[in-house]
Amino acid sequence: MLPIYLAIIETPEDEDKFERLYETYRKLLFFVANKILKDDYLAEDAVHNTFLKVLENLEKINEVDCHKTCSLLVIITRNNCINMYNRQKNHPMLPLDECMYTEENKLLTYDENAEEVMKAVLELPELYRGPLTLKYVQRFSNKEIADMLDISEANVRKRLERAKKMVLKNIRTEDVLNAKTFNQKDVKGCSNQSKSV
């Protein structure tokens, strides 16, 4: 398959970059796709579609062997799988809790607030986490995300809006739970002190 892709590319530098991308990520992307689709042939199709997207956006990939590139390719592959699954089964959504491969889990942690946000983002369904990661971690435009994920810009905006709401809700829920836990400990501590007095 690689020679077919290389025949489409014009410059030797781009050929070299694409070949390194292909050799570095092909097996990982097949693993991700096969875990979702549970079918070798469909997984190969999903990976093929990912590399076609890579060909269209090759100039946007600066480094081959880096977290950002890996994450981007995994997100595109997952989205291809979801689209294929939905088309094949005419089902509104793939149950993603069974097929989470989260390369984003390796993102750096920052201060406590950033950790809360990161935790809330990682708890999102892939349908929302992927576009959110592409937009705010990898800094792609809505149009670029729409092209990569093969959805409309309006759909990208809607997913980003919903993702933000879900993240805020998760953080607020976590804050409420933490406050309740703190208050219960505080009350127990006070009742123990009053008994000892």
Give 128-148 as a 3 state SS string: HHHHHHHHHHCCCCHHHHHHH
Q: 113 falls in which pLDDT band (50, 70, 90)?
A: low
CATH number for the region 1-99 comes to 1.10.1740
Residue boundaries of the structural domains of the chain = 1-99, 107-197
164 Cβ partners below 8 Å, 6+ apart?
A: 132
Global pTM reads 0.54
CB atoms within 10 A of CB 124: 20
In the numeric block, the tokens 């892939």 are attached to 126
Mean pLDDT in residue range 32-55: 89
Give the chain's radius of gyration (CA, Å). Answer: 21
- In the CATH hierarchy, which fold is given to the domain comprising 107-197? Arc Repressor Mutant, subunit A (1.10.10)
Q: Could you report the per-residue pLDDT of 46-72, keeping only the tens digit for each?
A: 999 999 888 888 888 888 888 889 999
**Per-residue pLDDT averaged across 113-140, rounded?**
79
The pLDDT value recorded for residue 33 is 92
- Distance CA(33)–CA(47), nearest Å, equals 7
Identical fold between 1-99 and 107-197? no
